[in-house]
Amino acid sequence: MNHADVIIVGAGVVGLALARAAARQGLRVMVMERHPQATGASIRNFGMVWPIGQPEGVLRDRALRSRQIWLETAAAAGFSADPMGSLHLAYREDEWAVLEEFVATHPDPETLRLLTPAETLAKSPAVRPQGLLGALWSSTEVIVDPREAIVKLPDYLTDTYGVTFQFNTAVTQVSTGQVVAGGKVWTCDRVLICSGADFETLYPDHYAASGITKVKLQMLRTVPQPPGWRLGAALCGGLTLTHYGSFAHCPSLPALKQRIQAETPEFPRWGIHVMVSQNATGELILGDSHEYGPSPDPFDKAAINDLILGYLQEFTTFPNSAIAATWHGVYAKLPGHSELILQPEPGVTIINALSGAGMTLSFGLGEDIFRH
């Protein structure tokens, strides 16, 4: 019988998180995905679960819940989730000032600590010591390989919670209590549409009225590092302080932004802030940039990759910097909001535009949605 309590459109990380949350409520859940597996932003990202980037309150609480779910689910499903934490490195006085202000105003000091240069170098062999003033250590960040997780999560959800999946099945029409997909009509009590950056297909008028846009990110991946060499904590430089909303309240941040704009305007022009993480196979994931618009340029810019790599060399050094792959991802963003939730008709909910924080927020968001 073509019926489920909940039908979810899209098997990316948002759709999988919602499927888990719904199934844990005892609901019969079906996930429909047009491809053999998700191929969008859910596999084209750092794999960073990054609570430190979320502002205090609802979003940080949601990120911490997601973190715990990732760790529990990875252990059960058999994929890697490394609670390696993060280091925000400071090489300039204005960067250090922002870090000091951030720690002084943070309500959860047990997860944070300012480190001396020597303490910082002990956390990661990749940190460049020349000119290092210190770092902010955060214990909350987790690294997952999205390419591995997105493959193993459907089997886990099927085996553990009875979620069914219809891959290679494009949803062409949705209405109250009904989904048309793969030439068949499926009935349900509730539909959740989690189609990511492919938001022109279903309910395009609602998306157009919302102000949603797209963001393109360029990223790189190195070859595996030598056996036994580990990055340790995920690393980022001063540019990252200008990117995440959690640092927005720091009084020294405007001066830092002004200095970056004056010295290196190409970084804010392309939305570049540079981070590095290491997956379980030893590869280093590097990035990224941010280009905004409804139709991102399909061609990557070598100059952006050069800027990322050049800035990376200012605060890191690796045994093997050879690049194995470059790519770009595209995600949906609703400016000024942490997500887009619309109800175009009874029993139908659109969930989109987690603004690049899908890995960090999705599992917590799923629990919030099915708690109400």
Mean of the per-residue pLDDT values for the chain? 96
Mean pLDDT, residues 33-40 taken together:
92
Q: Residue 9 burial by CB count (10 A; 0-12/13-18/19+): exposed, middle or buried?
A: buried
Mean pLDDT, residues 8-36 taken together:
97
Token pair in block for residue 17: 């998180």
Place of tokens 């009509």: 185
Amino acid at site 261: Q
Mean pLDDT, residues 80-96 taken together:
98
Token pair in block for residue 225: 């590092």
Domains plus CATH for the chain?
A: 3-46+147-210+337-371 (3.50.50.60), 86-139+213-333 (3.30.9.10)
pLDDT tens column, 271-294? 999 999 999 999 999 999 999 999
- Using CA atoms, how far apart are residues 319 and 149, in angstroms rounded to an integer? 27
Mean pLDDT, residues 136-150 taken together:
96
Looking at residue 108, its pLDDT comes to 85
Do residues 193 and 32 lie in contact, with contact meaning Cβ atoms separated by under 8 Å? Answer: no
Q: Who wins on pLDDT, 239 or 200? A: 239
Crossing angle of helices 146-161 and 13-23, in 10° steps, is 20
- Using CA atoms, how far apart are residues 74 and 81, in angstroms rounded to an integer? 6
Report in angstroms the alpha-carbon separations of 20 from 11, 16, 28, 67, 324: 11, 6, 11, 15, 34
- With cut-offs at 50, 70 and 90, classify the pLDDT of residue 266: very high
Is residue 194 predicted with pLDDT exceeding 90? yes
Q: Coil, strand, or helix at residue 127?
A: strand
Radius of gyration of the chain measured on its C-alpha atoms? 21
SS3 labels along 38-67: CCCHHHCCCCEECHHHCCCCHHHHHHHHHH
Looking at residue 2, its pLDDT comes to 87
Is residue 372 predicted with pLDDT exceeding 70? no
- Calculated CA dihedral for residues 117, 115, 244, 285, nearest 10 degrees: 60
Looking at residue 79, its pLDDT comes to 97
- Calculated CA dihedral for residues 3, 9, 11, 17, nearest 10 degrees: -80
Looking at residue 85, its pLDDT comes to 98
pLDDT tens column, 48-75? 999 999 999 999 999 999 999 999 999 9
Mean pLDDT, residues 27-43 taken together:
93
Residues of the chain above pLDDT 90, percent? 94
Report in angstroms the alpha-carbon separations of 363 from 49, 63, 360: 11, 8, 8
Looking at residue 200, its pLDDT comes to 87
Is residue 1 predicted with pLDDT exceeding 90? no
- Calculated CA dihedral for residues 322, 328, 332, 333, nearest 10 degrees: 60
Mean pLDDT, residues 96-124 taken together:
96
Mean pLDDT, residues 16-27 taken together:
97
Q: Cα dihedral sign for 162, 163, 164, 167?
A: negative
Amino acid at site 366: G
Looking at residue 230, its pLDDT comes to 97
Token pair in block for residue 341: 């939730």
Mean pLDDT, residues 18-33 taken together:
98
